[in-house]
Amino acid sequence: MEANIAIPSESKETWNGGGVKPFGASYGKMMMWFFIVSDALTFSGFLAAYGLTRFKFIDSWPIADEVFTHIPFIHGEYPMYYVAFMTFVLIFSSVTMVLAVDAGHKMQKSKVAWYMFATIIGGLIFVGSQAWEWNTFIKGSYGAVKTTDGKILQFVKDGKQIALADFVVAERTDGRVEHTKKNGLWFEKEGTISEYSVDQIVNSYKANSDIQIRTEFIDLAQKKKTILSREQGLDYLLKANQVVEGANLKVNEYGNTIFADFFFFITGFHGFHVFSGIVINIIIFFNVILGTYEKRGHYEMVEKVGLYWHFVDLVWVFVFTFFYLV
Domain borders along the chain are: 23-140+259-325, 144-245
DSSP 8-state assignment for residue 60: G
d(CA 164, CA 37): 47
141 and 69 Cβ atoms separated by less than 8 Å: yes
pLDDT, average across residues 278-282: 96
Q: Would you say residue 119 has pLDDT above 80?
A: yes
> pLDDT value at position 184?
56
Q: Which amino acid does the sequence have at 51?
A: G
Which element (helix H / strand E) includes 161? Answer: strand 160-161
Residue 9 pLDDT greater than 60, yes or no: no
The alpha carbons of the chain give a radius of gyration, in whole angstroms, of 27
- DSSP SS3 for 217: strand
Cα–Cα distance for residue pair 44/321, rounded to 1 Å? 13
What is the reported pLDDT for 76?
Answer: 65
Tell me the fold of 23-140+259-325: Four Helix Bundle (Hemerythrin (Met), subunit A) (1.20.120)
Q: Cβ distance 35 to 309 under 8 Å?
A: no
Look at residues 63, 89, 67 and name the one whose alpha carbon lies nearest to residue 76.
67
Helix axes 300-320, 109-139, angle to 10 degrees: 30
Q: Which amino acid is at 19?
A: G
- Over residues 66-76, the mean pLDDT reads 81
Judge contact between 115 and 100, C-beta under 8 A: yes
Contacts of 305 (CB under 8 A, 6+ apart): 277, 280, 281, 284
The pTM of the whole model exceeds 0.85: no
Grade residue 303 by pLDDT with cuts at 50, 70 and 90: very high
Give 81-115 pLDDT, tens digit per residue: 999 999 999 999 999 999 999 999 999 999 999 99
Split at pLDDT 50, 70, 90, the class of 187 is low
pLDDT value for 7? 45
Region of 225 (left: φ > 0; alpha: ψ -120 to 50; beta: rest) is beta
Q: Which residues on neighbouring strands pair with residue 153, listed in sequence order?
A: 145, 215
- CA separation for the pair 267, 246 (Å, rounded): 17
Q: What is the DSSP letter of 158?
A: T
pLDDT digits (tens, 9 = 90+) for 141-169: 899 999 998 889 999 998 888 888 888 87
